[in-house]
Amino acid sequence: MTHLRASAAVGVLAFLLGAGSALAQGAAVAPVASTAPTVEGGANGVALLRNPAAPEKSLIAATGEGGGLELYGLDGQRVGAIAGGEVYGVDVREHEGKPLLALLDRKGGRLRLAAYDFATGQATGLDAKPLTLDYAGEGVCLHRGARDGSLYAFTLGVAGQMDQWLLFPTADGKLDGRIVRRLHLSSEAKYCVSDDATGALYVAQEAVGVWRYDADPEAEAVPTLVDANRLGQIAGEVAGLALIDGGPSARFLVAANATAGGYNVYDRAQDDAFVGTFRIQAGDQNAVENPSGLFALRNPLGERLLAGSLLVADDRKSGANMKVVSWADVAAGLKLATGDAAGSKPAKGFATVQPTMETRPVDHDGDAADDPAIWANPADPAKSAIIATDKKGGLLVYDLSGQPLQYLADGKMNNVDLRAGFKLAGRETILVAASDRTHKSIALYTLDPATRQLTSVADGVQATGLSDPYGLCMYRGRKGATYVFVGDPDGLVRQWKLVAQANGKVRAVPVRDVKFDTQTEGCVADDETGALYVAEEDVALWKLGAEPTDRKEPKAIDRVASNPALKDDLEGIGLYRQAGGKGYLVVSSQGNNSYAVYRREGDNAYVGSFSVTADGAKGIDGISETDGLDVTSASLGAGLEDGAFVAQDGRNVFPPEHQNFKLVPWSAIAGVLGLK
């Protein structure tokens, strides 16, 4: 479940060798204020509602268990409450100019959402419907995704549950939610906090330590250990997490190290390296008896809190309250930079689009779905089809609603392509080719346009002689011949001519080999220009001649090392054909869940990149870790008059299911990238 990175292991070793002495020598700071006790005597979480018009009039929002959410001024005086059931966790983000509160109602077993209006002093419930948990909730935190600004909530459970909810607006101005990712720790987790700028999510697993995840629901769910209980800088259980963001030189994580009576600080700009600890004291006494939640904000909050504040929920046996600590005092005690209130700016993301359709998941689990090919029906565009591979079993044919029309369990098919107009037995057919890894062959079929069913037409096993037939694409030559290219993981790409036989079958005759230095998979051929494009996964996108007589060296269109928008592996490639030799190439940049677009004409200039994010209202998640894709400029019917983009989704997380394929109208892609 968990991978301990080298940096964390080094930190643990340093502690064992004596670096832990900083723990005993921690700086001491005094709270600048304490709130009045909570009405029902409990304190399980705290957040700050910042008033942008008058920061000194910001409010402390404290969980009061059965008392709901209690509100205090920065001077500690109680000013009101928000009913929310038995509240055990709280977090806040700005939403439409107002603080949005996420409350974990443990008694109601649900996540509650409310907006607070400073002008009226009122909170308005924003839940479009009950967002219920199927476990005993322990904590909650919010996250604003950098890719498209989507709002997420993470809810934590007593048995290690960790659900990520996508919160999305409804037609009546409220918020609905769907679980987009379900993670599970081995034991209880109560506290979490996220960094909107970097996408880091920190989770305190009580019996283990502090983990860091990628908060993007489409990211791989592999945590990094920041610090460990008893083996690192944590003496026992972590009793709260908070983030301070003062810009690139002043970004810190704070963890309440309750057993040791201190608060650990980690430098987020240095891979969360431990930088020191501090205590909160009133004179010689510990000012916090039982920390049970933290919240920090770098923004100025009046004269006493010019560098922001750290809030601590103190769930003491008598008179549970909240402590207000000046971050300037903490920074001075540990000799840390305070930075500035502007904080870190999120890295500029790619343009985003949303899918409008997804196919039924493939039957096999794990890495199974791989590559699609679109057949546009010229007679009835709405009855077009998507042919796709299940590399653990066979070929699938889907309609445009994503429902399967046919499944052929003919072998482990990796990539697929098609060409219309292949003459076979005296008539023109739609020929489909797939790389068959079971038989190390080229599988060949015809597609019946009336039934959208595939029929095998291979004249026996068309052996490739390759160690593992992998990538595949087809090409219609200028003289009418049809070819297929198949790649081997060792970098060899072999070209075959497809030849019709008198018995109505098809044979593949090898005509050329092209060798690349490393593994290739994605490829696409341009029938009009005679160009072949090949993706060498870790290196570059190459262009060469598709005719078997072409012997020119491949030309690099773009390289992974030279374009920051690309992150290996480069995988699927599709060609959007327009009149006059114009159009676009689309390439899957698997390492950053994006798609790079290049011009078809000229020197294939890079145009831009896009990513595909979730549509909460439709209940379709985004696309990530894409292997294969296809794109067409032909009309596929209403809403898809300009064609479509179809890609394999390597992490089908919404809900968690086997892999599938998702469709995006080309008009949406053209719109966000400014394409003609």
Residue 578, judged by CB atoms within 10 A of its CB (0-12, 13-18, 19+), counts as middle
**Is residue 161 within 8 Å of 119, Cβ to Cβ?**
no
Dist CA 207 CA 159 (whole Å): 12
Q: Which two tokens stand for residue 595?
A: 């798609």
**What is the CATH topology of the domain spanning 6-334?**
Neuraminidase (2.120.10)
DSSP H helices in 617-676: 666-673
Backbone angles phi, psi at 75, to 5 degrees: -85, -5
**Is residue 375 within 8 Å of 430, Cβ to Cβ?**
yes
Long-range Cβ contact pairs of 595-599 (< 8 A, separation 24 or more): 595/626, 595/629, 595/645, 595/647, 596/558, 596/563, 596/565, 596/566, 597/669, 597/673, 597/675, 598/541, 598/557, 598/558
**Is residue 382 within 8 Å of 399, Cβ to Cβ?**
no
627-642: b (≥16 Cβ within 10 Å) or e: bbbbbbbbbbeeebeb
Residue 510 amino acid letter: P
Dist CA 157 CA 184 (whole Å): 9
**Is residue 374 within 8 Å of 384, Cβ to Cβ?**
yes
Dist CA 185 CA 210 (whole Å): 12
Q: Which two tokens stand for residue 202?
A: 């920190």
What does the DSSP 8-state code read for residue 18? Answer: I
pLDDT digits (tens, 9 = 90+) for 224-273: 999 999 889 999 899 999 999 999 999 999 999 999 999 999 999 999 99
What does the DSSP 8-state code read for residue 347? Answer: P
Nearest to 518, CA basis, from 534, 532, 502? 534
Dist CA 394 CA 408 (whole Å): 5
User: What element of type H or E holds 328?
Assistant: helix 327-334
Residue 16, pLDDT score: 39
Strands 251-257 and 238-245, sheet pairing:
antiparallel
Query: Which value, to the nearest 10 degrees, does the dihedral of the CA atoms of residues 237, 242, 243, 244 take?
Result: -120
Dist CA 646 CA 399 (whole Å): 12
**Is residue 162 within 8 Å of 203, Cβ to Cβ?**
yes
Residue 5, pLDDT score: 41
Q: Which two tokens stand for residue 488?
A: 């081997």
Residue 20, pLDDT score: 40
Backbone angles phi, psi at 188, to 5 degrees: -55, 135
**Is residue 310 within 8 Å of 327, Cβ to Cβ?**
yes
Distances (CA, A) of 179 to 168, 210, 589: 11, 23, 26
> Could you tell me which residues are beta bridge partners of residue 156?
139, 162
Residue 177 amino acid letter: G
Residue 203 amino acid letter: V
Question: Going by C-beta distance under 8 Å and a sequence separation of 6 or more, which residues neighbour residue 119?
Answer: none
User: What element of type H or E holds 8?
Assistant: helix 6-14
Residue 40, pLDDT score: 83
The answer to whether the Cα torsion of 386, 618, 145, 205 is positive or negative is: negative
Q: What angle do CA 329, 335, 338 make, to 5 degrees?
A: 65
Dist CA 152 CA 130 (whole Å): 16
Dist CA 189 CA 157 (whole Å): 6
pLDDT digits (tens, 9 = 90+) for 341-350: 999 988 888 9
Backbone angles phi, psi at 376, to 5 degrees: -90, 120
State whether residue 508 is helix, strand or coil: strand
Judge if the upstream peptide bond of residue 569 is cis by omega within 30 degrees of 0. Answer: yes
Gap between the terminal Cα atoms of the chain: 46
**Is residue 544 within 8 Å of 555, Cβ to Cβ?**
yes
Nearest to 433, CA basis, from 412, 456, 463? 456
| The two domains 6-334 and 351-673 share their CATH topology (first three levels equal) | yes
Ramachandran category for residue 335: left, alpha or beta (phi over 0 → left; psi -120 to 50 → alpha): left
What are the boundaries of each domain within the chain?
A: 6-334, 351-673
**Is residue 386 within 8 Å of 400, Cβ to Cβ?**
yes
What does the DSSP 8-state code read for residue 159? Answer: T
Distances (CA, A) of 283 to 54, 279, 287, 290: 32, 11, 8, 18
Strands 151-157 and 161-169, sheet pairing:
antiparallel
Backbone angles phi, psi at 57, to 5 degrees: -100, 20
**What is the CATH topology of the domain spanning 351-673?**
Neuraminidase (2.120.10)
The residue written with tokens 């079958």 in the block is 505
Dist CA 193 CA 180 (whole Å): 18
Backbone angles phi, psi at 37, to 5 degrees: -60, 150
State whether residue 382 is helix, strand or coil: helix
Q: What pTM did the predictor assign?
A: 0.90
> Which regions of the chain are under pLDDT 50?
1-24
pLDDT digits (tens, 9 = 90+) for 642-659: 999 999 999 998 888 999
Long-range Cβ contact pairs of 331-336 (< 8 A, separation 24 or more): 331/250, 331/307, 333/27, 333/28, 333/29, 333/278, 334/27, 334/265, 334/275, 334/276, 334/278, 336/250, 336/252, 336/265, 336/275, 336/276
Length of the chain, in residues: 676
Residue 25, pLDDT score: 52
pLDDT digits (tens, 9 = 90+) for 109-118: 999 999 999 9
Query: Which value, to the nearest 10 degrees, does the dihedral of the CA atoms of residues 620, 610, 634, 453 take?
Result: -50
